[in-house]
Structure 1
Amino acid sequence: MWTSRVLSSATRAAPLASAMMRPQRAAIINPMFLRQSSSSTSAITYKKSHPHKRHPALTSDYLHPAPPSAEEAVSNILYNTPPMGRNQMNKRHIFNCLVQNEPGVLSRVSGILAGRGFNIDSLVVAKTEVADLSRMTIVLRGESATIEQARRQLEDLVPVWAVLDYTGFKVIQRELLLIKVSILGPEHVRAQMNSRAPSNWQLVQEETDEDMTPSDALRQTHAHLKSLTELTKLFQGRVVDVSGDCTVIELSAKPDRVDAFIKLVKPFGILEAARSGMMAMPRSPVYDRHEHEDDEVQEEGSGVDASLLPPG
């Protein structure tokens, strides 16, 4: 009885073992059948024949990275540090000239600087709160010895009251920028420069793809205007004029900050730009009134000579 049961179980397991030993053939699916049929059965069959690749699990080094060593940290800092200037001798010098408000002063001052071969980076002249007195801010580059000779020659002029050199001092620097930027995109800047009175939608329809509709062009225009407005707020500027194809932005900041703003809005397409030049004024020193009083008290109380005291 027991022998017959063993033989019957072995007979049943033989077809199953032979089926497992056979090589399994990949299911061949007709792509036309998949396109025509949208049933869930065809989707399951397709997923089985195209299994997803399983990505390896994240290791502990990725989730909890080890702190960098001192050598790695120093190498990273040195790599990210910008290089020094090419020519440290040609430093930027800031002159503040107080001159008499009369004709010909500007030409005489600029003539002395031009005679010595200086290229003036910026020059700003305006009247002050005092009658017949003007302030002239000059920014130029050159060697310190040559700059000092030019400063003395400027002081020798009759209409010049004083020439102050703010090089190396803490000064407040400001420059005004008015820039007109296109909101149609950089591909329309050339057409806007050729014709300053274009029809907004004619430009968009002529130079863009045929698939773009006026609604798409309107969305793109407002997206550019929104990006320019947000960028202007980051630099603490303001939008002073908006038209159908461009916007005018006003920015008052340091010259380096103005340069950075111009580089950032350049991809939008700059139509016009006007810079006033740098104006500078020295910072006022801050004195501590209480510290000065404490010094006076200590001076008044120190009436004993320390050399006459006993040791210890």
Structure 2
Amino acid sequence: MVLPCSLLAQAGAQRAVLRPLASPAKWAQLVQKPQAQRFQSTRSSTTANSYKLSHPQAGTVASPYRKKFAAPPPITAEEAVSNILYNTPTSKAPVESKHILDCLAQDEPGVLSRVTGIMAARGYNIDTLVASKTEVPGLSRMTIVLKGERMMMVQAKRQLEDLVPIWAVLDYTDTKLIQRELLLAKVSILGPEHAIPQVRAYRHSKEEMAHDPVYEETLASGGGAAEAADQHHHERYATTPSASESLLLSHRNLKALRELTSLFQGRIVDVSAESIAIELSAKSERVDAFLSLIRPFGILEAVRSGLMVMPRSQQLSMYEDDPASDDVVGQATVVDDTMLPPG
């Protein structure tokens, strides 16, 4: 086989290039990587300053997401005092003091009626009354909250103690107590404008509709009273929302009510397409505050139990107090003058 002259010339040139690289020393010299140079440390104490001067610190780049706002103007002492006085709530009107009585009674029919009969005959203002069985068979417990003067509470306690089925009457007015009240509330999740049709607030008085121009116009056009009432209700209150509107409203209000309920450590016990039921166990003041916050959503119905109380434990430590140890500690703190150094 005879190769062309051009191929022979090309092969000869490649052998001529690779022939010098055949030497191991030259090949190692070509493939050897450059080694990093190691700077020798100096004993001078000004080396750090020299490095700082030769390598100035670069300024920080201003981020577009990090904005600097102007500082608020300083206020004077007069303005601060005026602001505090303006934001301080005014004192409420004096209210009647609340007294709590806990009655231990025999669990038999007619005891509750006798207790309430005495309270009503004497004209006592009962705020709440809770009666229930206890863990002891044949023993019931009644928690009565009265509002009025101290002398009235003392008289009510004596009259309750005179009843035969009453074992004892405890006064918890000035005692540290655990107070709880249960609330069940059904709230609309369609908004306050749809809460009135939900509770069937369609029953309007004739006097209210008689002064309504829509009602009078419908009657004058020949319509009946029922048709006029329907037109009055349609014009005054919101109509039934569409399916998409109801879905969006319910999810938005449900999220807000769920967050509000979790802040008060309550829970949602029932969910429907138009309303939810909320359960809350807290003090009476917190229950009042929660009701005022959910009222704008539209409360369909609500029920509250009376106040239930239990005294707190008086023993905070498992160790008994040793008065002798207190005396020893007190004596140890006294410094003897004879033990002091001279001068």
Superposition TM-score, scaled by structure 2 size: 0.61
Structure 1 position 84 matched with structure 2 position 81:
no
> How do 1:1-312 and structure 2 match up within 5 A?
63-66=71-74, 68-69=76-77, 73-88=80-95, 90-194=96-200, 207-208=238-239, 214-288=243-317, 292-293=321-322, 295-298=323-326
The structural deviation recorded for 1:115 is 1.8
Q: Helix, strand or coil: the match of 1:277?
A: coil
- Indicate the residue corresponding to 1:26 in structure 2: none
User: CA–CA distance in 2 between the matches of 1:74 and 1:114?
Assistant: 51
- Residues 1:217 and 1:154: Cα distance change in structure 2 (over 3 Å): same
Q: Percent identity?
A: 57
Q: Tell me the matched-pair count.
A: 233
Distance change >3 Å, CA 85–CA 165, structure 1 → 2: farther
Give the Å deviation of 1:299.
5.5
> Shift of residue 213 of structure 1?
5.0
Counterpart-to-counterpart distance in 1, 2:300 and 2:242: 25
Report the residue type matching 1:83 in the other structure: T
Could you state the TM-score of these two structures normalised by the residue count of structure 1? 0.66
RMSD value, Cα: 3.1
CA distance in 1, matches of 2:91, 2:160: 32
Amino acid at match of 2:132: A
Query: 4+ runs of 1 displaced by more than 6 Å?
Result: 300-303
User: Larger radius of gyration, structure 1 or 2?
Assistant: 2
Q: Secondary structure at the match of 2:199?
A: helix
For structure 1, list consecutive stretches of 5 or more residues without a partner in the other structure: 1-59, 196-202
**CA shift for structure 1 position 83:** 3.4
Distance 1:222 1:289 in 2: 51
What one-letter code is carried by the residue in structure 2 that aligns with 1:142? Answer: G
Shift of 1:130: 0.9
Measure, in 2, the Cα distance between the counterparts of 1:125 and 1:263. Answer: 27
